[in-house]
Amino acid sequence: MSVVAGVGAFSLVSANADSPAQPEPPGLAIVEPSGEFQTGMTTLHLIDEDRADVWVPEARRELMVSLWYPTDEDGLGAPYMTFEESSLFTDQLSAGLPEPLPDDLLSEVGTNSVPDAEPVADDGTLPLVVLSPGFSFPRATLTGIAEELAGRGYVVAAIGHNYEAPISFPDRTTECLACTDLDADTLVPNRAEDLSFVLDELTGGDAAWEDAGIIDTERIAVGGHSIGGASSHRAMLADDRFGAGFNLDGTFFALDPHKLDRPFLIVGADEHGRPGGDDTWTKAWKHLEGWKRWITADGTTHSSFTDLAPLGAQLGQQLQDMDGLYADKLTRDHIVAFADAHLRGAGAPILEGPNDVWPEIRFHHPRP
């Protein structure tokens, strides 16, 4: 599987036919968020009537969006993925493994967010973080980050970019048509348009979500994993409503060379993210003129900043040298610190330089 394309290695060891029977795998679950709130979750089906889909030009651009937010309700968690999404994604993850992963593996993952719960606020006070997943990755793979932010009082919107990953719509499930050949020069600008369109739908006068009034439209960040991070950078340059952004180990495909004067955080895996590992990072860094940080985490790989790291750990199989549950906490803490600093004006000591809290983090060119 290609790291550059946004598909990180997810290595599981399967027993062969002559091996003793293996115990049933443990029940998989997203780690509980550590904030003060319970979390709710809902989904939106959006159609951009003004834009043709670049992958299927005869159709309008269609998206699925997952929304997480703070609530005071408790109950069973929302589904992580549909069976169809799980089946298609586990087929992808099974490439090269001795035995395929079960089709329902990811549809059985437990989450912490109550479906369609009532939000705790209704007065436009909650900052918004918009997320874009890696190429070929379902948006569900950023659930851990989303629930962590929601538990701390944020609204989070994760976008399912149609034909760029398995996506279940109300009437069908679509496959990753773009995965046959990565056309980043088309994909990244198109995702940037997706990000702005979703923001329109959440903050406009006729919002697509009935509870959109909880969002503070002056405090919005955008970020993502892999090519989703590159698309977030591009979206910031095209849309100044995004006040801050971050990129989790993504090559800056289709890099917009204009200067960006708003905060931007680059988080890299151990090898790819170091200076010299990816020329596009050096190019992007030179054009960041606001608050900026370039950090890497020792012992991580491309998918360490997604749910695949803690889920792999729960299966007894690590994606990286770092323990997957530890990688999950590292990612959550740094994204929360970034959001708190730039959407709430809080201090963020772990982003100011090397520290004893996260000794695995390396800072590269840490000052503007």
- Reported as a single tens digit per residue, the pLDDT across 162-210 is 999 999 999 999 999 999 999 999 999 999 999 999 999 999 889 999 9
Instruction: Report yes or no on 298 lying in a domain.
Output: yes
Angle, CA of 278, 143 and 28, to the nearest 5°:
110
* Section 110-125 average pLDDT: 94
Backbone dihedral angles phi then psi of residue 41, each to the nearest 5 degrees: -150, 140
DSSP secondary structure letters along 175-221:
--GGGGS--HHHHHHHHHHHHHHHHHHHHSTT-SSTTGGGEEEEEEE
What is the distance, to the nearest Å, from the Cα of residue 337 to the centroid of all Cα atoms in its chain? 16
Backbone dihedral angles phi then psi of residue 149, each to the nearest 5 degrees: -65, -45
Instruction: Report yes or no on 165 lying in a domain.
Output: yes
Task: Provide the sign of the torsion angle of the four alpha carbons 253, 254, 259, 261, taken in this order.
Answer: negative
* Section 97-113 average pLDDT: 94
Helix ranges (H only) for the chain are 83-93, 143-151, 184-203, 227-238, 279-286, 308-314, 324-343
Q: How confident is the model at residue 98 (pLDDT cuts 50, 70, 90)?
A: confident
164 with 180: CB under 8 angstroms?
Answer: no
- The answer on pLDDT for 14 being more than 50 is no
Instruction: Report yes or no on 119 lying in a domain.
Output: yes
Q: How confident is the model at residue 26 (pLDDT cuts 50, 70, 90)?
A: low
Instruction: Report yes or no on 7 lying in a domain.
Output: no
Residue 96, pLDDT score:
78
d(CA 31, CA 330): 13
d(CA 15, CA 316): 14
Q: Which residues neighbour 323 within 8 Å (Cβ) at sequence distance 6 or greater?
A: 313
3-state secondary structure of 238: helix
pLDDT tens digits for 248-269? 999 999 999 999 999 999 999 9
Q: What is the largest CA-CA distance in the chain?
A: 63
Among residues 8, 12, 2, the alpha carbon closest in space to that of 318 is found at 12
Instruction: Report yes or no on 18 lying in a domain.
Output: no
- The answer on pLDDT for 66 being more than 60 is yes
The 10 Å Cβ neighbour count of residue 7 is 21
Residue 5, pLDDT score:
36
- The answer on pLDDT for 16 being more than 50 is no
Residue 19, pLDDT score:
36
* Section 81-107 average pLDDT: 94
CATH number at residue 257: 3.40.50.1820
Instruction: Report yes or no on 27 lying in a domain.
Output: no
3-state secondary structure of 74: coil
The 10 Å Cβ neighbour count of residue 352 is 14
Q: How confident is the model at residue 367 (pLDDT cuts 50, 70, 90)?
A: low
What is the distance, to the nearest Å, from the Cα of residue 42 to the centroid of all Cα atoms in its chain? 16
d(CA 104, CA 166): 14
* Section 341-351 average pLDDT: 97
Give the predicted TM-score (pTM) of the model.
0.93
pLDDT over 70 percentage in the chain: 92
Residue 172, pLDDT score:
98
Q: How confident is the model at residue 97 (pLDDT cuts 50, 70, 90)?
A: confident
- The answer on pLDDT for 4 being more than 50 is no
Domain count, the chain: 1
pLDDT tens digits for 266-291? 999 998 999 999 999 999 999 999 99
Q: Which domain holds residue 86?
A: 38-364
Instruction: Report yes or no on 221 lying in a domain.
Output: yes
Q: Annotate 275-312 with three-state secondary structure.
A: CCCCHHHHHHHHCECCCEEEEEECCCCHHHHCCHHHHH
Classify the phi-psi angles of 301: left when phi > 0, otherwise alpha if psi is within -120 to 50, otherwise beta.
beta
Instruction: Report yes or no on 160 lying in a domain.
Output: yes
Rg (CA), the chain: 19
* Section 64-92 average pLDDT: 97
- The answer on pLDDT for 7 being more than 70 is no
Residue 17, pLDDT score:
33
- Taking the alpha carbons at both ends of the chain, their separation in whole angstroms is 35
Q: How confident is the model at residue 366 (pLDDT cuts 50, 70, 90)?
A: low
Mean pLDDT for all residues in the chain: 92
pLDDT over 90 percentage in the chain: 87
